[in-house]
Amino acid sequence: MIGRLVQALQARPTQTLWLGLGAFLLIWFCNLDYRHLIRTDEGRYAEIAREMVVSGDWITPRQNGYKYFEKPPLQYWATAAAFELFGIHEWTARLWTALCGLLGIAVTFLAARRIWGPGAACLAAVILAGTLQWVAMGHFSSLDMSLAAFLSAAIAAFCAAHGPASSDSTGSDRPRTHTGWMLSAWAFAALATLSKGIVAMALPAATIGLYMLWRRDWDIVRRSRPLAGGALFLGITAPWFLLVSARNPEFAQFFFVQEHLSRFLTRMHGRDAPLWFFVPVLAGGLIPWTLALPWTLARARPQAARGFEAAPFLGLWVIVTFCFFSVSHSKLESYILPIYPALAILLALALPHLSRRGFAWLVHSNALAGLVLAAGSVLAIRKGSAHIPAELLARYEPWLVGAGLALAAGALAARQFDRAGARRGALVALAAGSLGASQLALSGHESLAPLYSSYHTVLGIRPLLAADTPFYSVDTYDHTMPFYAGRRLIMVGYKDELAVPIDREPGPFLPDIARFEQAWRVAPKALALMTPAQFSRFQQAGLPMAEVGRDPRRVIVSKP
């Protein structure tokens, strides 16, 4: 049966390609609006974009009314534009991230096609489209996917610009550079910088410098068009940095010193983790290709050829990026996203040559992982935990079981394709199983929305959200609340990440519970968000308030 299917697909390659692309795009975009936004990142970045639209100020980003200088504005601009064009929705809040995920796949294909041909390019795109962490982060609104997409585009364009060694018009072996690709690399690096800051310059520079020393390719700097490229880079990045600095004198110190140098060197954000933190992250995030990683990197060693070699350069990029974030004192799982497109290309070059026995180990490990996920989900969900009630987990169970079975089914189909001598079909089956599993697990997360999103809570109090009614956030802050309430919250006691702008311009901020109680008693009407424990304390103190909304972690009260 598999053999006949392979023959049918091979007989209509163009139709098969377009059908597969259409199915992929449908799966990629189908659930952007299914899940409500969750804290912290999704609520934060959607709200910053919403405030841009409401205020009309696209230069100074603001969160809950306070200046927010932690990151550059490219994603805020893109999301605000989507809000202006299509309305303020969950899917428009996630659209930029999803498009950036597709961009990463597209530039991976284009660069691989230029250097290694269409076969390797198609495989690289398929592999990246089925990589678990790339799929997951392509559907979660954060800045890490846009950084990863543009950084990967810059590295891919750099490789395509230099390409393999070629002869010039005199017949020598002097390497040449394609100027269009090289300027594209500079432009993508500029967009990466506008996505998340100067790390977008540091990582490529470190990789190029180490490659130059390693291969003794001293001419690589000249070939990289530093004058024209640097001018293009500054033309894209400098206008916003100059404008925001002119309007906000405090920007430069906060952005460059605190949010870059101090974040990397100190534990100021409480995100420190062991040196090996990203080892299990990569092992899980690279599913279904994890077991092939060591063999793939070993094959990326340099050959005897003169001139630029893209595969060793990509391997070096993976190592530099992985090590950079490993030694940093600020670690989040999504920080290593920029290595996945490079790994997809290296895997595309290696996996067709993996022995049948080695490939069997790869597919069997994924089949086992899928079955363990399906069975383990049932066992874990029945118990629940102190943080996640069993009844909410029970709603998630069918989705996780389906995700596990999808991964296992893709692996078993891949085994049959490989036995039929269709290794490329086997890789597509593995990727399809992983893509389906990722999307099922993501969609099912909506079952836990009462824990991570304020949507349903706000829905119940919407008639009370008059413009002249103060809305307090007492000793807590939910990043999704301002977005769904469509208004600013008056923060009480708790500053969260807004401590610096609050200290500089406090606005309506109330520093302690006593000030809140005083404001609450004199207000003719008011709303307040707080924890259940805080609500109990106010009740015991006799503060007049009535519960109007509740979920497992939050209570909303009104002034009776």
Shared domain for 94 and 123, answered yes or no, is: yes
- 75 with 207, same domain? yes
- Nearest CA among 198, 137, 195, 96 for reference residue 332: 137
Tokens of 384: 């629940």
Final residue before a domain boundary, out of 409, 427, 451: 451
Do residues 21 and 60 both lie within one domain? no
Same domain, 291 and 158: yes
Phi, psi of 473 (to 5 degrees): -120, 105
Number of domains in the chain: 3
The answer to whether residue 313 sits within a structural domain is yes
d(CA 98, CA 342): 19
Question: Which DSSP category does 289 fall into?
Answer: S
Does an H or E element contain 374, and which? helix 356-383
The number of beta carbons lying within 10 Å of the beta carbon of residue 344 is 30
Per DSSP, the three-state class of 168 is coil
Say if pTM beats, i.e. exceeds, 0.75.
yes
Best CA proximity match to 182, nearest among 246, 231, 252: 231
Are 178 and 268 part of one and the same domain? yes
Q: What is the pLDDT along the chain (560 residues), one digit of tens a residue?
A: 565 655 555 556 677 788 889 999 999 999 999 999 998 899 999 999 999 999 999 999 999 999 999 899 999 999 999 999 999 999 999 999 999 999 999 999 999 999 999 999 999 999 999 999 999 999 999 999 999 999 999 999 999 998 754 334 344 445 567 889 999 999 999 999 999 998 899 999 999 999 999 988 888 989 999 999 999 999 999 999 999 999 999 898 888 776 666 555 555 555 678 899 999 999 999 999 999 998 888 876 666 556 788 999 999 999 999 999 999 888 899 999 999 999 999 999 999 999 999 999 999 999 999 999 999 887 766 666 667 777 888 889 999 999 999 999 999 999 999 998 899 999 999 999 999 999 999 999 999 988 899 998 998 899 999 888 999 999 999 999 999 999 999 999 999 889 989 999 999 999 999 999 999 999 999 999 999 999 999 999 999 999 999 888 889 999 98
Would 191 be classed as within a structural domain?
A: yes
Residues 24, 44, single domain; the answer is no
524 within some domain: yes
Residues 464 and 435 in one domain: no
The pair of structure tokens assigned to 77 is 């601009």
| Chain segment 293-312, per-residue pLDDT in tens | 988 888 766 665 567 889 99
From 396, 426, 451, give the residue that closes a domain: 451
Whether 466 is covered by a domain: the verdict is yes
305 within 8 A of 88, measured Cβ to Cβ:
no
* 505 is a domain residue: yes
Asked whether residue 160 falls in the same domain as residue 12, the answer is no
Q: What is the DSSP string of 298-358?
A: HHT---S--S--HHHHHHHHHHHHHHHHHHSS---GGGGGGGHHHHHHHHHHHGGGS-HHH
Based on the domain organization, do 246 and 286 belong to the same domain?
A: yes
Same domain, yes or no: 211 and 342:
yes
Contact between residue 377 and residue 400 where contact means Cβ atoms under 8 Å apart = yes
Q: Is residue 412 part of a domain?
A: yes
Last residue of a domain, one of 415, 436, 451: 451
Domain range for 309 is 40-350
Q: Evaluate whether residue 35 is within a structural domain.
A: no
In whole angstroms, how large is the CA radius of gyration of the chain?
A: 26
Claim to verify: residue 474 and residue 342 sit in the same structural domain: no
Residue 291 included in any domain: yes
Same domain, 362 and 321: no
